[in-house]
A and B are shown apart, each in its own frame.
Chain A
Amino acid sequence: MKKSKPFWAFVILAAIVYGVVQFFIGSGLLNQYYSNLIITISINIILAVSLHLVIGITGQFSIGHAGFLAVGAYISAIATMKFDLPFILAIVIGGIVAALTGLIVGIPTLRLRGDYLAIATLGFAEIIRIVLFNIDYVGGAAGMQVSHLTTWTITFVCLFITVLVIANFTNSRHGRACIAVRENEIAADAMGINTTYYKVLAFAIGSFFAGIAGGLFSHNFYILQPGNFGFLKSFDILIFVVLGGLGSLTGSVISAILLTLVSTFLAQYPETRMIIYSLVLVIVMLYRPQGLMGTREITDLFKWKPAKGGN
């Protein structure tokens, strides 16, 4: 099967990455700090890839992604801490509730376009945060105690599924319908595509995986506070997607890795951290306004040769 070649390449690559990291963590070569960093990177990749589906593929400029992250984080934390559910089930519940939230938010707001949608989604994320601040059941501003349950294996499985599902969705007629909506909504409509359906669908899938990331995120620390989900968090995710190149899945993966590393490294220099981080962003945007990868994927790089050698 010709078509499944990239798929198996992806599976093998994933297995190698998993094996190597697992070996280093298991043998104690990577201390707590670094294994935590790797989990944070993976969570950020899930967030970046899920927002990539909404912004990069479907072209809906949503900047409230932290809101769905918060929903997933709190719901799964409640599931494990208050109802003693198994962690994996809690993650899935967090994802489903986030997806439902995505539906509720998406159906009315996705009629809006561009700036208006951005403002509406930003407002939604702020509402979630403020509501969480005021619910005593989850600890309010003081936060909620959460056990540390996130492991590299669970994180990696979630990451793997996220990338696989979103890549498969994108490379199908449904993904093409979403791209058509991004490229020209009027024409997509005129070609028989139910544009509202696909916008809401992409939004719900994106929210689902943001919720999954939330479950991993909340159980990676011992305390969960609404302050973690401010609009700066939404912007962080947005920056991963834009910097990676709108429409490029591998681009958002790469930029999520790079920016998490840069930002973690700069944590040693708290005075200048934000200045340098912002400078990195400004410089990348000046020299590569289309993002690191543009709209291309890593796999396109390998395709160049056969394309020329072929017909």
Chain B
Amino acid sequence: MALLEVKNAGIQFGGLKAVSGFNMELHQGELVGLIGPNGAGKTTSFNLLTGVYVPTEGEILFNGKRLNGLPPYKVTQSGISRTFQNIRLFSELSVIDNVKVAYHSLAKNSILSSIFRLPSHFSEEKNMENKALEFLKIFNLDSLKDEKAKNLPYGQQRRLEIARALAAGPKLLLLDEPAAGMNPQETHELMELIAFIRKQFGLTILLIEHDMQLVMGICERIYVLDHGQLIAEGTPDVIRSHPKVIEAYLGEEVPSEHA
């Protein structure tokens, strides 16, 4: 059974069909790319998957459970977590607190236990601290744990966002342009990091990316969106030579008048 199954999902804003007839199947442990020209509907489909938007058509099944209409926090709790195209860290919080926040829904102590400082408060806080530190170590951010998130350089902010998404304990990780704004060196490190966490945590990953080298380098399968429609699906090699994809990115070949 597929981990994530999207059947004919779509969303319409007024008269505009942002995404329609979107079909996707992700299997446990896969690393899949989602590409397409600007405005194709990539982030919109992420928003559909994570509950930010409620699909106006079709169905989304995760682990056999219907996700349609669940609020984002419930989607996250059921095992899908994400990063954002424009970084959304909790900028005034410290690096470690950013990660702890994501661990929030996995902790169990009640509000009263925190107010009265019961033992369960301390044990959960300690547990959270240790877990958060583990994640920071993986991402090489542990030395910066008390720094405010807003003071980190851009590349580290991107990494912190992935660490935070991981701390929420997902089975499926959605990365929205993780390499945006990174230099080639950083992109390369990121590729290795993504491959590592996938193995380490047995994750399924779906990523949106414009950096073709990254996408072609690590994704096993690729979906291509254009104008809200899925136009192609397959291995990197298939996608690279797919006429529709080339058309979407480079435009149609104009028949030569001399011919």
Contacts and interface: CB of A to CB of B under 8 A. Distances in A.
Whether A associates with B in a native complex is: yes
Of B71, B88, B124, most A-chain CB atoms within 10 Å: B88
Interface in A173-193: 173-177, 179-180, 182-184, 186-193
Given A174-B114, A191-B101, A192-B102, A183 B72 contact: no
5 contacts: A172-B114, A184-B90, A191-B73, A192-B77, A193-B104
Interface string B120-136: 01101100100000000
B258 to A, nearest CB: 54
B102 A169 contact: no
B35 to A, nearest CB: 22
Contacts of A194: 71, 73
Contacts of A307: 146
Interface in B84-139: 84, 88-93, 97, 100-105, 107, 109, 111, 114-117, 121-122, 124-125, 128
Interface residues of B, number: 39
A78 to B, nearest CB: 28
Interface string B144-170: 001000000000000000001100100
Contact of A190 (B50, B124, B125): B50
Which 4 residue pairs across A and B have the least CB separation, nearest first?
A172-B114, A192-B105, A183-B90, A192-B76
Contact of B115 (A4, A169, A186): A169
B111 A192 contact: no
A199 to B, nearest CB: 12
Interface residues of A, number: 31
A5 interface: no
Contacts of B93: 176, 179-180, 183
A177 B106 CA distance: 13
A169 B101 contact: no
A172 B121 contact: yes
Given A168-B114, A169-B111, A172-B121, A192 B90 contact: no
Contacts of A182: 92
